[in-house]
Amino acid sequence: MKNYLPLLLLPLLTVLQQSVVAQCPNGRYYDKIFPQSSSTVTFGNAMKFDSTFVDLQMDIYQPTGDNFAHRPLILLAFPGSFTAGIRQSPDIVQLCDEFTKRGYVCASIDYRLGFEGGSDCDTNQFKALMRGVQDMKAAVRYFYKDAQTTNTFRIDTNQIFIGGSSAGAFIALNYAYGKLDTLSRTDPAWARPALDSLGGPEGNSGNPGYSSAVKGVIDLCGGIADTVWMMPTDPIIVGVHGTADATVSCYYDSVYASTHPESLLFGGGDIKNRLDHINLNHSFYLFQGADHVPYILPIPLIPPASTYMDSTVRIIRDFLAPNTVCDSATISGTEVLKYELPVSILPNPSEDIMKIVSRYDEDLTATLYAIDGRLILQQSLPAYSTLNLQKEKFGKGIFLLHLRQPGHPEIHSSSRVVFY
């Protein structure tokens, strides 16, 4: 019975579709209205686990006949436990096909596979994950570079969504939410040295000097080491996970993790619980009774897998469509300016008083969140003024300070502040 659960979900998803409000005319980003074309490019070169170097490629799918000057990008990584898989993985190709026809540019990327000496010890698994993060960041930087040079793919870099299936989802989650200064528990002694040995989170896979910022995440059956990493102003997220996943547990299992250190991970159920308790735009669906990546098992595109894939596409579509701005870089022919707010935070970290000094000529709203997502403070920061934050009011800890100009959502910034 559980294999046919998505069939029962389809009427519900159909009802939910009716409430989706897309921002573009003619069904763009919601309906399949374009044919597509594809090409392959090399976006980087990096050293593998065995000290040899490999070129990194991606297949780029574009909507044919699309005349938008600035287009959103969905960039995806394949499954395979960091030891196998190819960018032509059927689930990834299917997702690229579905969303390219809706008006997105889609890319399926290579990333480095394998463990040193064939050992899947904790350190080697972590390093394989971080190589994937580095390679995905190089791919994102490729599109930033393209946008600022030849503009071949006409990508709106304010609308880049990253994601993947299984291992690919692990990569996207750690890319978007991984933080070195925010942990709910002590990090393993081997983690920081292992990361440093790879060159840090950004890595050296290609296209240095360009941004790797993203707008959102598509998490398909992935996991993350610490859900407290996810904060209210982080990238938005949509995802699915099976509640009976025997490969990547939907919920943290402390008994299993006590004998399997690599399972100190939080799956989709834990991620959804975190998202439901913080103010971060999200849509996360749990397939009741489904195993790992049900949309590609046992046979791609044949029921019940095809039904799970249909449901997955609808869930992603119904979240992305209203969160994708229609050609955002031009509004009535006028360029939208990108702002870097002239605000200083001194000193940071602080053991007493921290000053938020604005040199901006408009009023701002300052919002302070605790590490668990709780709203701590919301206060106006008038133009050319100073706001004092006092440790005695908040206590020790790491906080997230978000500044925005009321009425102008594109003008904002976020910073981590620390009282010790």
According to DSSP, the residues that pair with 165 across neighbouring strands are: 220
**At 262, is the pLDDT very low, low, confident or very high (cuts 50, 70, 90)?**
low
pTM score over 0.85 = no
Neighbours of 263 (CB within 10 A): 16
- Residue at 249: amino acid letter: S
The yes-or-no verdict on residue 261 having pLDDT over 60 is: no
* Angstrom distance (rounded) from CA 222 to CA 57: 23
Q: What is the dihedral of CA 192, 263, 168, 217, to 10 degrees?
A: -80
DSSP letters for 181-203: S--SSPPPTTHHHHHHHHTTTT-
* Angstrom distance (rounded) from CA 325 to CA 22: 9
Mean pLDDT of 410-418: 78
* Angstrom distance (rounded) from CA 340 to CA 386: 18
* Angstrom distance (rounded) from CA 143 to CA 156: 9
Length of the chain: 420
Mean pLDDT of 96-119: 93
Q: Which residue has the higher pLDDT, 323 or 186?
A: 323
Look at residue 93 in the predicted model and tell me its pLDDT.
95
Dihedral sign from CA coordinates of 26, 30, 35, 41? positive
**At 330, is the pLDDT very low, low, confident or very high (cuts 50, 70, 90)?**
very low
According to DSSP, the residues that pair with 217 across neighbouring strands are: 162, 237
According to DSSP, the residues that pair with 160 across neighbouring strands are: 73
* Angstrom distance (rounded) from CA 311 to CA 254: 31
Neighbours of 339 (CB within 10 A): 13
Residue 104, both tokens? 């997105």
Tell me if residue 271 falls in helix, strand or coil: helix
* Angstrom distance (rounded) from CA 401 to CA 390: 14
Domains of the chain: 2-331 (3.40.50.1820), 337-419 (2.60.40.3080)
Mean pLDDT of 182-209: 79
